[in-house]
Structure 1
Amino acid sequence: MADQVLDDLDQSLVCALQVDGRAEPGRIAEVLGVSARTVTRRLARLQQTGALRVVRLPTAEEAAPGALLLRVRVLRGRVEAIAQALAARPDVPFVDIMLGGHEVGAVVLADPGSRDHLVHAQLPATGAVVETSAHAVLHVFADAGRWRGGRLTAEQVAALEPEPPSARPPALDGLDRGLLAELGEDARRSHAALAAALGAPESTVRRRLARLAAGGLLRTHATVDPRLLGMRVDANLWLDVPPGRLAEVGERLAGHPQVHGVFATSGAASLMATVFCPDHAGLYRFTTETLGPLGVSRAETVIVARAVKRAGVPLPGGPVPGGRPPGRRAATG
């Protein structure tokens, strides 16, 4: 299905769920000017075919402390095994295989002990890893939860936006953590389904979800192959930006409709941006027309050959240049 582009309505439905992943079909139908039955049928088909999955995404405040951006250079022929072993870890929500078949990129959200054990012990122990560079996230300008596909008008986006957080994040108990875990698998689960899964009254579930939403903990992410939205090139841009302009450039890029992540990082590059483009010519235009005027002094462009895992969701795969099916379990598991 990734070789095809979704039709206009399906793309609009995906974009609506990018704004609010728990929006009711009736609300989406009213904003898009179609029937609720059509919305329900279309969304069910997108989810059943695996084209769309909506999950709860940790807030930047939850995820950023200790987060690492990993670049793992791998022996040719072993990239698939390392990528799948990283993707199997619950503390690694994003894994990409880069064009050329010898580099894996990953985001690690782990406590310092687990993080250091992975980088300094487990990855080197595989014998397949040539080099690992780890870049600490110093500041999040935008992450995957802020990306919008651009099919909706500003008025439609405003009509779908959930209420902004009105309170500090609450202290969590077992039921709260259970709800967040369930929504991490499927953020569109109904109140009744959540109540049945956790053995709690539906009224209690409704009340708890409202409290979690007020505390800003119900942020969602609509996981979709960007090729279905006409974006066939996914690239990581490692940028050198003068310190005095770092905040300005980060904020400008965060507001760009093709950018789905911007992070200030440690290491040789001071900023990393992830960008979707319709084709390679579009990536060239983004580099010259968007990055050029911002005063970026150097840009290393790394193109993603295949996304293996996004926002904690494993994605269907295909053959990778230089890859082969994993044999023995890699030591990163």
Structure 2
Amino acid sequence: MEIRPADSGIPLDTLDRRIVGALQIDGRAEISRMAAVLEVSPRTVTRRLQRMQRAGVLRVVRTTGTAQAVGATVLRVRVLRGKVDTIAESFARRPDVLTADIVLGGEEINVVLTGGPLTRDRLLHHQLPATGAVVSTTAHSVLHVFADAAHWRADALTSDQIAALAPAPAGIGAFATDALDERLLALLGKDARLPHATLAQLAETPESTVRRRLRRLTDAGMLRTHVVIDPRLLGMDIDAALWLNVPPARLREVGDALAAHPHTHAVAATTGPANLIAAVYCPDLAALFAFTTDVLGPLGVTSAETAIISRTAKPVGAQQLRPLSPSPAPAPSPRS
């Protein structure tokens, strides 16, 4: 079965989706290992993976741990009708913006800002108020992350395949990284599948050292990867942001339950009118309705505001802006 959204590039069949699923389990999984688990030839895996990478529909990047997202700011920015692309593109250009989504209707942008307090306050108190196109802004501080984008898995593999691909961490715990560790992590930021030999050349260190360092970083949970791909290519046509109210005594229980659900790709406890936010992928609106009634209802969620994401100006893991329209973008309004 092929899935090809009208504007999302090449079609992906069942094997392509399984390769994506394998990379979601281990972004640096070797071709031979993926081929053995998926029961195809290494040549086939290589050819399929290169096809997706060359078409620009798949990229594997390094991502930080969930603990580092605590303290991030989630913004709900309402803008004048007709100005959403200009403001969204401005946010997407900022290196301190993790993701920027345009809500259906074109009058709101959801932004995750990872900068420190000075950067945040400068944006909130000076730059956005000076932008005539911004109507209002609501800011929520992230208190706890139950799941982030790197947790989400395409429903493409069996439980046995997942177990076979999952790396076996030694559980050595975090440690103080040195200059070489940081150099390797930086090199993997844009392409987490860089071969050991390439990393060794770029870092000017022996390949055996690179292998040893990466294994230690992986075992300590410091080398996490994230597959950047349009979820519509995996059969998930609906992306929705949920702003939830949960009784405080059940906040951790509900957060853990939502994080374990296959539809969610982000769950966090926040300050503000809603104390829990979740981002979900669903095949269609009927599935989103079922999620609301059959998942949120039994969990005791007292209220839920649902916002459909119509477009993503900057997906998690993006290194540069993806234009939202064919016309040249105007000069950005909020400046970093």
- The interval holding the TM-score normalised by the smaller chain is over 0.9
Question: Residue 250 in 1 paired to residue 255 in 2?
Answer: yes
2:27–2:60: 8 Å Cα contact kept in structure 1? yes
Question: Residue 306 in 1 paired to residue 311 in 2?
Answer: yes
What corresponds to 1:109 in structure 2? 114
Q: Percent identity?
A: 56
What corresponds to 1:223 in structure 2? 228
Question: Residue 24 in 1 paired to residue 30 in 2?
Answer: yes
Q: Which one of the candidate residues 313, 329, 332 is aligned to 2:332?
A: 329
One-letter amino acid matched to 2:19 = L
* Counterpart mapping for 1:145-224 below 5 A: 145-164=150-169, 166-224=171-229
What corresponds to 1:275 in structure 2? 280
What corresponds to 1:138 in structure 2? 143
Structure 1 position 329, deviation (Å):
2.7
**Equivalent-residue separation in structure 1 for 2:119 and 2:45 (angstroms):** 43
Gaps of 5+ in 2: none
Superimposed CA distance per residue, residues 251-309 of structure 1 (whole angstroms, 9 cap, x where no aligned partner):
11111111111111101111101000111111111111111111111110011011122
**Equivalent-residue separation in structure 1 for 2:149 and 2:170 (angstroms):** 19
Q: TM-score, normalised by structure 2?
A: 0.93
**Equivalent-residue separation in structure 1 for 2:174 and 2:58 (angstroms):** 28
Counterpart secondary structure, 1:70: strand
**Equivalent-residue separation in structure 2 for 1:151 and 1:312 (angstroms):** 22
Structure 1 position 53, deviation (Å):
0.6
**Equivalent-residue separation in structure 2 for 1:31 and 1:270 (angstroms):** 41
Superimposed CA distance per residue, residues 72-121 of structure 1 (whole angstroms, 9 cap, x where no aligned partner):
11112221121111111222111111111111111111121112212222
Question: Residue 96 in 1 paired to residue 106 in 2?
Answer: no
One-letter amino acid matched to 2:335 = T
Superimposed CA distance per residue, residues 155-211 of structure 1 (whole angstroms, 9 cap, x where no aligned partner):
111111112352232212222222111111010011111122222222222222122
Counterpart secondary structure, 1:294: coil
One-letter amino acid matched to 1:154 = S
Structure 1 position 126, deviation (Å):
2.1
1:28–1:160: 8 Å Cα contact kept in structure 2? yes
Superimposed CA distance per residue, residues 114-136 of structure 1 (whole angstroms, 9 cap, x where no aligned partner):
12212222222222211111111
Structure 1 position 318, deviation (Å):
4.3
**Equivalent-residue separation in structure 1 for 2:322 and 2:12 (angstroms):** 17
Change (3 A) 1:125 1:197: farther
Q: TM-score, normalised by structure 1?
A: 0.94
Counterpart secondary structure, 1:125: coil
Counterpart secondary structure, 2:34: helix
Counterpart secondary structure, 1:211: helix
Structure 1 position 326, deviation (Å):
3.0
What corresponds to 2:90 in structure 1? 85
Counterpart secondary structure, 1:295: coil
**Equivalent-residue separation in structure 2 for 1:325 and 1:72 (angstroms):** 23
Q: Which one of the candidate residues 43, 55, 58 is aligned to 1:52?
A: 58
Aligned length: 329
Structure 1 position 67, deviation (Å):
0.8
Structure 1 position 55, deviation (Å):
0.5
- RMSD after superposition: 1.7
**Equivalent-residue separation in structure 1 for 2:42 and 2:111 (angstroms):** 38
What corresponds to 1:8 in structure 2? 14
One-letter amino acid matched to 1:20 = D
